[in-house]
A and B are shown apart, each in its own frame.
Chain A
Amino acid sequence: MILLEINNRIIEEALTLKFNNAAAGNKPEALDITIADFDGVLYHISNPGGDKTKVQVSISLKFYKDLQEHGADQLIKREYGSFLTTPESGYNVSIVFDLEHLPANRDEVVKKAGLLKRNCFASVFEKYFEFQQREENSQKRAVIHYRDDETMYVEAKKDRVTVIFSTVFKDDDDIVIGKVFMQEFKEGRRQYQQAPQVLFSHKEPPMELQNTNAKVGDNIGYITFVLFPRHTSPAARDNTINLIHTLRDYLHYHIKCSKAYIHSRMRAKTTDFLKVLNRARPEPKNVEKKTFSGKTFKMN
């Protein structure tokens, strides 16, 4: 698979199982699953208060505070309205489903539950897309520390929205492979005119972030996406958010795949070399010799 999925398959499958079970009239069973997702996000599927007829899905994001500043709460309420409940302790958002009163559009609800993480992120983007659609400049830049060392900056101007990801390459070799990938992203516009403009800056933050205390370092890279009105329009908005919010994970996933592929090639080549080297060994001569009286013995 080349593109990463934006929904969480585990949630979808667990919920579908429970809903189908309940619809078929079977007795509900207890449920307690803790799931991890990209960017340090944790989900918890359980029965609230031990009540087996209710299924609760909670999400915890370390950076939820940053998202709340930009209206995450309102967006979550908009999407999950009737299912929202007080967040479980240790988690940021909880939605609960009653198995005895299943919603009519089960599949749609399950899909929405799988998109919890995406919807949390979506609020920031929607707010800044709105700014751009109304042709205003955003006064403040949005800063989301979505990973320990990595930050996302969003800013809106009259005719564009700029999203800047800072990413850390833990390995020196990753930097070189990352640069190859970013070179291809930069040139993507030549083939696909509709694509946003992508810029990459290694070690230093790009011009837009000068004078902020953005990190500087040998293994830090900054990826800038310039989104034009055609990407931020209400029709294209959801698609754009879907693609952009997992970019950093997409890049690192493919870097790791390349390294794994290189590794398997090296292993194959090494066995090849060993085979050629072993041709240099003479075959062991197993000579059977007989003495005059008929005794046989083997010589090695």
Chain B
Amino acid sequence: MSTTLQPYLKAVRQTLTAAICVENFSSQVVERHNKPEVEVRTSKELLLTPVTISRNDKEKVLIEGSINSLRISIAIKQADEIEKILCHKFMRFMMMRAENFIILRRKPVEGYDISFLVTNFHTEQMFKHKLVDFIIHFMEEIDKEISEMKLAVNSRARISAEEFLKRF
């Protein structure tokens, strides 16, 4: 199963590197406004074809590009109930701190667990290749973290049950 991880991340990295070429573009619809076109979606000619990279039907990444912005949505593997609530808690925790995270979106896109929005202003202030590095690092670490938290809950359950029952 993990043999598909490296090609998966490689594909995501290369698509991101290509899609993150964004430039400043003021709004065509409203004077003097500058909006991320991938969110507004008013003009079809400014949007690029969205690309979905799937590792399996549960894990996938949707990359939607446009002329001045890029939206990345990630669906994280959640095998059972406890992983689902841990993932949900973690994502909610981070999305509440979206201002600190700069490129994080406050709500995930429908059907996905977390979304990022990168605009030309971000790429002007930060290195593009490092932003891509961050997204890939994020995807790797999330899975690890959720498994570790699940392990912690399971071991706590086992130890507390053991302590209680062995006293009888």
Contact = CB atoms under 8 A, between A and B. Distances in A.
B102 interface: yes
Contacts of B94: 266, 270, 273
A173 B167 CA distance: 29
Interface residues of A, number: 48
A184 B145 contact: no
Contacts of A266: 89-90, 93-94
B89 A262 contact: yes
Interface in A236-268: 236, 239-240, 243, 247, 250, 254, 257-258, 261-263, 265-267
A176 B130 contact: no
A262 B81 contact: no
Interface in B138-168: 138, 141, 145, 148-149, 152-154, 156-168
Interface stretch (A74-82, A150-158, A188-196): A188-196
Interface residues of B, number: 44
B125 interface: yes
Contacts of A263: 93
Interface in B64-92: 81-82, 84-86, 88-90
Nearest to B94: A270
Given A270-B97, A281-B126, A243 B157 contact: no
Contacts of B21: none
B168 A277 contact: no
Nearest to B167: A243
21 contacts: A2-B160, A172-B85, A176-B81, A184-B160, A188-B162, A188-B164, A192-B165, A196-B165, A243-B168, A250-B164, A254-B157, A262-B86, A265-B148, A265-B149, A265-B152, A270-B94, A274-B101, A276-B134, A276-B137, A279-B133, A280-B133
Interface of A: 2-3, 172-173, 176-177, 179-181, 183-185, 187-189, 191-192, 194-196, 198, 231, 236, 239-240, 243, 247, 250, 254, 257-258, 261-263, 265-267, 269-270, 272-274, 276-277, 279-282
Interface of B: 81-82, 84-86, 88-90, 93-94, 97, 100-103, 125-127, 130-131, 133-134, 137-138, 141, 145, 148-149, 152-154, 156-168
The 8 closest A-B pairs by CB, nearest first: A280-B130, A195-B165, A188-B165, A184-B161, A280-B126, A184-B157, A181-B157, A185-B161
Given A195-B166, A250-B160, 18 more contacts: A2-B159, A2-B163, A176-B81, A180-B154, A181-B161, A184-B160, A188-B162, A191-B162, A192-B166, A243-B167, A254-B160, A262-B89, A262-B153, A265-B149, A269-B141, A272-B141, A273-B141, A276-B138
